[in-house]
Structure 1
Amino acid sequence: MAEVSPKMELARRIGEFRYSPVNHALFAYPWETERLPSTGPRTWQREMFQQIEEHLSSPATRHTPCRIAVASGHGIGKSAGISMVNKWALDTCVDTRVVVTANTEGQLLTKTGPELTKWCQLALTSDWFKPSATSIASLMRGHDKAWRTDLVTWSENNTEAFAGLHNQGKRIVLIFDEASGIAAKVWEVALGALTDEDTEILWLAFGNPTQNTGAFRECFGKARNLWKTKQIDSRTVEGTNKAYLDELVRTYGEESDIAKVRVRGLFPSASSMQFIALDAVEAAQKRQPFDALGSEPVIFGVDCARMGDDESVLAIRCGRDAVSRPWKRWSKMDSMTLAGDIALEADKYHPDMIFVDAGNIGAAIVDRLRQLRPDVPVIEVWFGAEGRDAELEPGVRVHTANKRAEMWTKMRHWLRGACIPPEDRLRDDLIGPTYSFGGDDTSIMLERKKDMKKRGLPSPDWGDALACTFAEPVMPRAVPGYLNPDNYEGSGGDRYAELD
């Protein structure tokens, strides 16, 4: 019987770990040595590797995408975990394709890339692949183009590397590092890599949860049924600097955004320069509708859109209650039909005022509503008109750069005690816009819709509709009897007549 060479024996042993990243890691690296003094992968890394093994070991799930998202504080060994997955994926399946990207080119090429190279060189199979600044390619003749890892920088205008990631019948691994900063367009295009039949597909997203909007946040929100998620407090992980982490928490507070993002692995209440905080919106969505005062006016706010992905939305508010009267939305609706539908809603709820975004098709809707409902004031709202001072916090008034910023500022203050519909789209719209300061450095300016779309966020149609209900003050429906001067004795209703 011919003697098996050490190289062939190594290849056979590595092949045994086709579906087991944890056993590959324990076998392939020199643990408990000067080069790698720990005893093996950290607990959270082992748990992630086990999720991958369970997914690939079952014929029922093997050829369906395995999506894992990990949000964490600092120092948990994220780059090492990524590197071990990368090396396992390359070692255990011929012609595996791995694509790694990060939030910035600097992160990818100066942090993620060198860590991938380090772990490739630590492994028993270090001579199987050749690392470079932007790739790790197989040294097997004829396989260097098909069996490899590529470090790919992205831009929203150049997503071909993600759109063209196919490897039918083999294995695809897509890794997003510092995923909070990767644009939604890149996430969207990457979905094309999940369509190959009979293919092992892994999509792993890691990062500090710095933004509470965007695709990474949605892995833990409305898309959580598609992803295996984990949020890791750095203080619970072996090898982290717990004294420093505890100092951060003591200094800024357990519930501060710094502690949430940098230590606890939780998404912040408000991202940097975010105008409305997530916790304020979620609290408003959890409140139950309550009886409004009989004098509270019913106000319609209409945000108009005709074509494209944007929606026309009717928001209905009565005092602090924006839930009891169902909102309406329309897609790709012409102005005359839209005006007719709004008039029908007015027949049901008898609004005291209808505010309509006059941009786009709004001016035509205003004219038609005035014809259909001459008994209800219909006011056009120009978002770019001059803004007035508005209350941002109790007792704090600010300048606003335009009408839209004024309305959103009033709405932000109102949300503190309000109830709003528990719709994901409304939540996303309200927390989506950032703010800046106008040319005078004192006027609050809200992020423009077109700039939000560049970040991969939709036009905040639901948020703008609700904001329209704050365009102008609306008088109460009826003055309570105790405030009505006619109820006081005295000539001509003069409550002070007896003093003459």
Structure 2
Amino acid sequence: MSRSPTASPRPASAPSAETDDLEAQLVDDIGSFTHDPYGYALYAYPWGEGELKGVDGPRDWQRDVMNDIGGHLSDPETRHQPLMIAVASGHGIGKSAAISMIIDWAMSTCDDCKVVVTANTENQLRTKTWPEVSKWRRLSIVSHWFTTTATAIAANDAEHSRSWRADAVPWSENNTEAFAGLHNKGKRIVLIFDEASNIADKVWEVAEGALTDEDTEIIWIAFGNPTRNVGRFRECFTRYKHRWNARQVDSRTVDGTNKQQIAKWAADYGEDSDFFRVRVRGMFPRASSLQLIPTDWVAEAIRREAVHGLSDALVCGIDIARGGDDDNVIRFRRGLDARSIPKIKIPGSETRDTTLFIAKVCTVVQEHRPDAVFVDSTGVGGPVADQLRRLMPGIAIIDINFASASPDAHYANMRTYMWWRLRESLRAGLAIDDDPLLEAELTSPEYGHNQRDQIALEKKDDIKKRLGISPDDADALALTFAFPVMKSNHTHDQGSALLSEYDPFRS
């Protein structure tokens, strides 16, 4: 650090000599942390005050990563060799805060430092990663040295505003120029991949090829939840582990994480389940060839934006509980949007009180007036469907027996067929709500082949025996894929009478 990048005018309320002395001292202090990001973090932020009240410094794992960077840069033998750090972790450990503090240190302690930040999706980058980066930049003691916008941080020195900066750059497999141009010879480059598990391999390859400048401090850090057991992020811990400083952080070991929620997940799913491995232990899911729906497909469905077409029908699926601790679940889906209308859960114990239960279901269905309602008619569901048809004659109520024949001979039964269509919809762009229980239900079922070589989904009772959970919510969502549904051209209030905007008597 040779100088301050500030071009801010001198405060009128302070004597100029005193201001200059304070600024000069600040420059010297910050310069002493050129190869010490942890020391910088302790110095630069108002720990214990305001937004950091009750916090006395970076978390232990954040300190370790910062010290790895400091040790690498302080050693003349490694300083100009690329440092590549991969951190796979559970949820809630403070990844975005770590990213932000490292970026702030890198820019504040090196002239003309160049930083590029990307994430798994543009939405993640825009709404989660960059706001956190901006927050820590604002909290920094040298916040006046830089200007922060919605997509960049740049030095206030006009002569260096293009060369001394950090940029939030969405990635694209068809447009990798931003990552191919990561050159800053003789100075410092920092590349951050947030939620790295879902960044395309091609982007990794292009970025790696660009980080070749000699006599340059090069730091590449990949953070993320380990949602995929394939891809370049996974290979940081396997095939390329000799090149990466890789660590896995268990949420249970980190101060400030929600230990009550973690304990609940452990009790519900088991500590060795893929759900718990990914969300808590920071471990990659098992490479199970039997898992019907890949974990990373579900993770992506949770993150993506919910959209649907104007011509998409609104479809309702109702999974009927058999009593006990299972739930009745009512799900709605419009095209690829299964998130916007919240699901409704009714305890299975209420199924016995048929009158009250039917009344609740009717209230929910009539509120949204879907184009079709698919009801699980297996067992006690048949009489429920009959009652719904009687009470709501203007709405199409269709019985679906999970064990009945599939319309496609490749599948052993109707339930397998619906789940497979749900699976393919998740791959095609379906958006679902961020519900840990739904995520677990979708990723738990396994499949095989029967004697006729048909695909056969694991039975619901077998899933419950194996995992202790019944996929009621996921079954309700799968029901919305029973058959294709056209958007209605009539109102349910007028039975099947067609409505038209054309009025033959209008002049």
Fold similarity call, TM over 0.5? yes
Q: Quote the Cα distance in structure 2 between the aligned partners of 1:396 and 1:156.
A: 42
- How far residue 193 of structure 1 moved from its aligned partner, in angstroms, is 2.8
- How far residue 270 of structure 1 moved from its aligned partner, in angstroms, is 4.2
Structure 1 position 180 matched with structure 2 position 197: yes
Structure 1 position 157 matched with structure 2 position 174: yes
Structure 1 position 230 matched with structure 2 position 247: yes
- How far residue 388 of structure 1 moved from its aligned partner, in angstroms, is 11
Structure 1 position 31 matched with structure 2 position 50: no
Structure 1 position 134 matched with structure 2 position 189: no
Question: 8 Å contact 1:67–1:227 — kept in the other structure?
Answer: yes
Structure 1 position 54 matched with structure 2 position 109: no
Taking a change above 3 Å as real, the CA distance of residues 244 and 398 of structure 1, as seen in their structure-2 partners, is farther
3-state SS of paired residue (1:127):
helix
- How far residue 250 of structure 1 moved from its aligned partner, in angstroms, is 1.1
Tell me what 2:454 maps to.
Answer: 399
Which residue of 98, 113, 117 maps to 2:115?
98
3-state SS of paired residue (1:268):
coil
Tell me what 2:228 maps to.
Answer: 211
Q: For residue 97 of structure 1, what is the amino acid of its counterpart? A: K
- How far residue 8 of structure 1 moved from its aligned partner, in angstroms, is 1.4
Question: 8 Å contact 2:290–2:447 — kept in the other structure?
Answer: no
Tell which structure's C-alpha radius of gyration is larger.
1
> Deviation per CA, 1:92-122, whole angstroms, max 9, x where unpaired?
0000000000000000000001000000000
Q: Quote the Cα distance in structure 1 between the aligned partners of 2:157 and 2:37.
A: 22
Q: Where do 1:40-79 residues align within 5 Å? A: 40-79=57-96
Q: Quote the Cα distance in structure 2 between the aligned partners of 1:22 and 1:396.
A: 62
Taking a change above 3 Å as real, the CA distance of residues 147 and 43 of structure 1, as seen in their structure-2 partners, is same
Tell me what 2:256 maps to.
Answer: 239
Tell me what 2:32 maps to.
Answer: 16
Q: For residue 44 of structure 1, what is the amino acid of its counterpart? A: W
Taking a change above 3 Å as real, the CA distance of residues 181 and 271 of structure 1, as seen in their structure-2 partners, is farther
Tell me what 1:117 maps to.
Answer: 134
3-state SS of paired residue (2:159):
coil
Q: Where do 1:434-449 residues align within 5 Å? A: none
- How far residue 393 of structure 1 moved from its aligned partner, in angstroms, is 3.7
Tell me what 1:5 maps to.
Answer: 21
- How far residue 90 of structure 1 moved from its aligned partner, in angstroms, is 0.2
Q: Quote the Cα distance in structure 2 between the aligned partners of 1:91 and 1:271.
A: 46
Greater CA drift, 94-103 or 191-200: 191-200
Q: For residue 399 of structure 1, what is the amino acid of its counterpart? A: Q
| Structure 1 gaps, min length 5 | 279-385, 401-436, 443-500
Tell me what 2:165 maps to.
Answer: 148
Tell me what 1:480 maps to.
Answer: none
Q: Quote the Cα distance in structure 1 between the aligned partners of 2:82 and 2:225.
A: 23
Which residue of 237, 260, 267 maps to 2:277?
260
Q: Quote the Cα distance in structure 2 between the aligned partners of 1:398 and 1:92.
A: 64
Q: Quote the Cα distance in structure 2 between the aligned partners of 1:154 and 1:392.
A: 35
3-state SS of paired residue (2:283):
coil
Question: 8 Å contact 1:65–1:201 — kept in the other structure?
Answer: yes
> Deviation per CA, 1:337-393, whole angstroms, max 9, x where unpaired?
xxxxxxxxxxxxxxxxxxxxxxxxxxxxxxxxxxxxxxxxxxxxxxxxx9899x964
Taking a change above 3 Å as real, the CA distance of residues 83 and 277 of structure 1, as seen in their structure-2 partners, is closer
Q: Quote the Cα distance in structure 1 between the aligned partners of 2:44 and 2:241.
A: 33
Question: 8 Å contact 1:101–1:108 — kept in the other structure?
Answer: yes
- How far residue 272 of structure 1 moved from its aligned partner, in angstroms, is 11
Question: 8 Å contact 1:168–1:199 — kept in the other structure?
Answer: yes
- How far residue 140 of structure 1 moved from its aligned partner, in angstroms, is 1.3
Q: Where do 1:98-497 residues align within 5 Å? A: 98-270=115-287, 393=448, 398-399=453-454
- How far residue 79 of structure 1 moved from its aligned partner, in angstroms, is 0.3
Q: For residue 31 of structure 1, what is the amino acid of its counterpart? A: W
Q: Quote the Cα distance in structure 2 between the aligned partners of 1:178 and 1:277.
A: 17
- How far residue 273 of structure 1 moved from its aligned partner, in angstroms, is 9.3
- How far residue 141 of structure 1 moved from its aligned partner, in angstroms, is 2.3
> Deviation per CA, 1:232-264, whole angstroms, max 9, x where unpaired?
110100111111011111111111111000011
- How far residue 226 of structure 1 moved from its aligned partner, in angstroms, is 0.4
3-state SS of paired residue (2:243):
coil
Q: What's the TM-score, normalizing by structure 2?
A: 0.55
Question: Deviation above 4 Å: which 4+ runs of structure 1?
Answer: 270-278, 386-389, 394-398
Question: 8 Å contact 1:98–1:173 — kept in the other structure?
Answer: yes
3-state SS of paired residue (1:35):
helix
Q: Quote the Cα distance in structure 2 between the aligned partners of 1:124 and 1:220.
A: 36
- How far residue 398 of structure 1 moved from its aligned partner, in angstroms, is 4.8
Q: Quote the Cα distance in structure 2 between the aligned partners of 1:190 and 1:219.
A: 14
- How far residue 271 of structure 1 moved from its aligned partner, in angstroms, is 7.9
> Deviation per CA, 1:3-44, whole angstroms, max 9, x where unpaired?
762111101100000000000000000001122120000000
Q: For residue 88 of structure 1, what is the amino acid of its counterpart? A: W
Q: Quote the Cα distance in structure 1 between the aligned partners of 2:126 and 2:235.
A: 27
Q: Quote the Cα distance in structure 2 between the aligned partners of 1:226 and 1:204.
A: 12
Q: For residue 204 of structure 1, what is the amino acid of its counterpart? A: I
